[in-house]
Amino acid sequence: MRERTIKIQKPRTYCGIVGVYGVSGASKDIYYGLNALQHRGQEAAGIVTRERKTDKTFFNVHRGPGLVADVFRDEKLLTEVLKGDAGIGHDRYSTTGSTENLKNVQPIVVNYRLGNLAISHNGNLTNSHRLRDELTQEGTIFQTTTDTEIILHLIARSKKDSVIDQVYEALEAIRGAFSLVILSDDQLIVARDPYGFRPLALGRLGKGFVAASETCAFDVIGAEYVRDVEPGEIIVIDDEALRTGETRSIFLPEIPRQSRHCIFEYIYFSRPDSRIFGESVDKVRRKIGKGLAEEAPVSNATAGSDAPSGEDDAKLVVISVPDSSNTATLGYVSQSMKMGIKARFEIGLIRSHYIGRTFIQPDQDTRTLKVKMKFNTVKGVLKGRRVVIVDDSIVRGTTSKQLVKLVREAEPAEVHFRVSSPPIMHPCYYGMDFPSEGELFANQFDGDIERMTEELNVDSLSYLSLEKLLDSVPLDERRGFCTACFSGDYPTEVEVNTKEEFEANINEVKI
């Protein structure tokens, strides 16, 4: 028999999802919510709403490539096309390729035995190859290369006679990370995988309900945060829920005693003004910064320094890589000062916010230019100073090297690099867009700090320890964290195929 060459698109599952039920003009709230979650995905966006007419229920859809504000540039789309009091939305993570599978733009909308169904998914399945294999053996066709379509097929294949039973059966079959909002003709279903990898929160907006990846989406529309969706929980929001103000929940079987929240959401991905996994991101990120100072301070008296005392005070400046490491840097400085170090928080790097996806790439031989387009140094702040750069993580190392080079051009006395997370040694199969092991900076050097210090051309380099990181997050008996990218300890089995480099074999070009 012919060997199949079906390949699944490389997971790009940094995404933002929003669901609204029972709110008049739902599309506007979804729109504002997607904007607040724009940092989770800038490649594409889409909204589906349910519109009830006298004798029929319609699903209205608009999706497209680009930022939310670009995709929904024409307000009529919200007011005249996307009518209805319930709906879901999706922000998709940015890829760099010039060709892309447009049909992968979410939400996916289908029509099946029990009516219409739309789905937005944040996460990455770890048994998608096996499932896709089984489904195709049964005669299923795939129009996209997403995990999301697999979930839809599983729902539709279920023999059960209610959408919620079908969803239950489908979610029972999948493994890996999934935060979902599902819209049917009569319900909004909100669900999360048993480990709770990705965040998902439930809120109220007037008499209606909302769900979103992060609470910052609630703030913008004035919704009230109620609680996180529990790991393994499936919440059903329907007209009865609107009447009673109570939602119904069912739980997936085999929910582990302790969850495995993605610790990288705290380190880098979520917005600092959001509350996820039971704690404010800002608060955790500050603790992380403090922990980093405890473990890896840069003291005022450097070895071999014979600078006159009193002079050193002014010399030690701590800068962040804006905006992602701002909060951790503040924590680092405050703890340093508490430890008696005369350090000062400074703005040493200016970031241009106009550098977006449409930008013309500089030629290959001027790679520095790319970093220069995005960052510039404030020379007066750096010149002659002992500079500590606090960054949230090092993935490939390319940007970090260019950043250090840029900072060095401002002629600092020393450059110390502090990373507010442990070395990333392993890829993520639950949704972070890390490259393969061989491309990870820390992995390339086997985590050898000395060689990495040399490679980055810094005076010293330190990472936060995993222990300290875990001290900073709200760990308890029930709440655990996934640290697989640092430790290699994957909470779930990962099928072999997932570990290969994936590539779509259907290319579709943007219109």
Q: Between residue 190 and residue 209, which ones bind its own copies under the rule CB under 8 A?
A: none
Stretch that binds its own copies, among 216-224, 242-250, 296-304, 386-394 (CB under 8 A): 216-224
Binding to its own copies in span 287-316, by CB under 8 A: none
Q: Give 356 or 488: the residue with its C-beta nearer to its own copies.
A: 356
User: Which residues, numbered 50-69, are part of the site for its own copies (CB under 8 A)?
Assistant: 55-65, 67-69
Which one of 17, 18, 78, 150 is in contact with its own copies (CB under 8 A)?
Answer: 78
Q: Which of 254, 306, 360, 501 binds its own copies (CB under 8 A)?
A: 360
Of 199 and 491, nearer to its own copies (C-beta) is 199
Instruction: Please give the positions annotated as active site.
Output: 15
Among 207, 301, 355, 467, binds its own copies (CB under 8 A): 355
Restricted to residues 450-469, the positions that interact with its own copies (CB under 8 A) are none
Contact call for residue 39 and its own copies (CB under 8 A) = yes
Q: Write down the residue that tokens 């195709």 correspond to.
A: 136
CB within 8 Å of 503: residues ≥ 6 apart: 7, 9, 10
Exactly one of 96, 139, 253, 340 binds its own copies (CB under 8 A); which one? 139
The Cα 3–Cα 15 span in angstroms is: 33
Give CA–CA dist 430/428, Å, rounded.
Answer: 6
Residue 153 binds its own copies (CB under 8 A): yes
Q: Which of 204, 174, 175, 180 is nearest to 192 (CA)?
A: 180
Cβ neighbours of residue 447 closer than 8 Å, sequence gap 6 or more = 423, 425
Asked if residue 506 binds its own copies (CB under 8 A), the reply is yes
The correct pick among 15, 23, 108, 387 for binding its own copies (CB under 8 A) is 108
- The dihedrals phi and psi of 26, each to the nearest 5 degrees, come to -55, -35
Q: Does 117 bind its own copies (CB under 8 A)?
A: yes
Q: Is 103 in the site for its own copies (CB under 8 A)?
A: yes
Alpha-carbon dihedral sign for residues 78, 81, 85, 91: negative
Three-state DSSP class for residue 153: helix
If one asks whether residue 404 binds its own copies (CB under 8 A), the answer comes out as no
Under rule CB under 8 A, which residues in 4-33 are in contact with its own copies?
A: 4-7, 31-32
Nearest Cα residue to 395 out of 443, 355, 362: 443
Stretch 158-177: interaction string toward its own copies, x if CB under 8 A: xx-x----------------
Q: How far is CA 502 from CA 140, 178, 425, 436, in A?
A: 21, 19, 20, 11
The binding track of 462-501 with respect to its own copies, each residue x by CB under 8 A or -, is ----------------------------------------
Among 94, 140, 299, 305, binds its own copies (CB under 8 A): 140
CB of 316 to its own copies, least distance (A): 14
User: Toward its own copies, which CB reaches closer, 163 or 452?
Assistant: 163
20-45 burial code (b ≥16 CB/10 A, e <16): bbbbebbbbbbbbbbbbbebbbbbbb
Least spacing, CB of residue 358 vs its own copies, in Å = 5
Cis bond upstream, residue 219 (ω within 30): no
Task: Give the Cα separation of 119 and 147 in Å (integer).
Answer: 11
317 binds its own copies (CB under 8 A): no
Give yes or no for residue 72 binding its own copies (CB under 8 A): yes
Token pair of 495 as six digits: 């099928």
CB-nearer residue toward its own copies: 32 or 441: 32
Of 108-116, 120-128, 302-310, 415-423, which segment contacts its own copies by CB under 8 A?
108-116
For its own copies, the binding residues in 416-445 under the rule CB under 8 A are: none
**Cβ of 379: how many Cβ atoms within 10 Å?**
12
Q: Which CB contacts under 8 angstroms, 24+ apart, belong to 52-56?
A: 52/84, 52/85
Binding flag, residue 508, its own copies (CB under 8 A): yes
Q: Which residue has the tokens 């993580």?
A: 393
CB-nearer residue toward its own copies: 110 or 413: 110
The owner of tokens 């809120």 is 203
Q: Which stretch binds its own copies (CB under 8 A): 278-286, 395-403, 453-461, 479-487?
A: 278-286
Comparing CB distances to its own copies, the nearer of 7 and 479 is: 7
Q: From the CB of 257, what's the least distance to its own copies, in Å?
A: 29
Rounded distance, CA 235 to CA 241, Å? 10
Give CA–CA dist 344/314, Å, rounded: 8
